[in-house]
Structure 1
Amino acid sequence: VFLSNNAGGILGGISTGQAIVARFAVKPTSSILTPRKSIDKDGNDVEVMTKGRHDPCVGIRAVPIGEAMVACAIADHYLRHRGQTGKGVGQ
């Protein structure tokens, strides 16, 4: 029995049996303020420049993406273990 879970449930790549805790950070998106060359709907050359701050909030989408990445990593390790040993976890 552990007194704390400071390692996030994994020590040396092996699960301790505690809850797996993952922390990640997301950098803020930036508006591109430099003028860019583009074309309009008629095909004419135009210059596009962002005015003001129009950053999308990626924080709302970050959590499910992080959870999916962790789930994929765990599934990958499970399948690798099963391929090497021929057994599922707990068999």
Structure 2
Amino acid sequence: IINDCPPGLGEPVFDKLHADLGKAMLSINAVHGFEYGSGFAGTEMNGSAHNDIPLSGNRSVYSSETNHAGGILGGISTGMNIIFTVGFKPVATIMQTQPTINAAGEVAEIKGKGRHDPCVVPRAVVIVEAMAALVLADHLLRQRSARI
């Protein structure tokens, strides 16, 4: 969850904020999934249930009772919390024999010996936070430079 993100970051066509967040997260080693807002659960909902209905009141700040959009509408931040989930795959080296093929294309077996591929999980939260911060900083700089 990204708290206190200013509204207006992102672009409506190219450089959408959620697309850039997804690109950044999916560039992290071992990441195999990214969803924001209600994600894939939203595909099971009706539009009437999924739509975030704006609350009346302070017109200078967007708010809604729900946040199925994950704080991003049309590629642009709303000012509400940005919510996304990142999924990591398990490490590939396992200490069990498993089928494979050799250089000649013949069926063979392989068994892992030692740990040769790093496990990102102990550092996953810090890495995801850092990547999200880079994306937000990039969009903040773009927004500020557009005003020059």
Who is 1:42 aligned against?
none
> 1:57: Cα distance to partner?
4.0
Q: Does residue 1:65 correspond to 2:127, yes or no?
A: yes
1:62 corresponds to which letter in structure 2?
A: A
1:23-45 superposed Cα distances (whole Å, 9 cap, x missing partner): 111111111778xxxxxxxxxxx
1:27-67 superposed Cα distances (whole Å, 9 cap, x missing partner): 11111778xxxxxxxxxxxxxx7337x47542221111111
In 2, the alpha carbon distance for the partners of 1:73 and 1:51 equals 38
In 2, the alpha carbon distance for the partners of 1:64 and 1:50 equals 28
Q: Does residue 1:50 correspond to 2:112, yes or no?
A: yes
TM-score scaled by length of structure 2: 0.41
Who is 1:78 aligned against?
140
Who is 2:89 aligned against?
27
In 2, the alpha carbon distance for the partners of 1:76 and 1:56 equals 28
In 1, the alpha carbon distance for the partners of 2:93 and 2:144 equals 46
SS of the equivalent of 1:4 reads coil
Identity of aligned residues (%): 52
In 2, the alpha carbon distance for the partners of 1:74 and 1:51 equals 41
Unaligned runs of 5+ residues in structure 2 are 1-54, 56-63, 101-110
Larger Rg belongs to: 1
In 2, the alpha carbon distance for the partners of 1:21 and 1:5 equals 8
TM-score scaled by length of structure 1: 0.63
Q: What is the aligned length?
A: 71
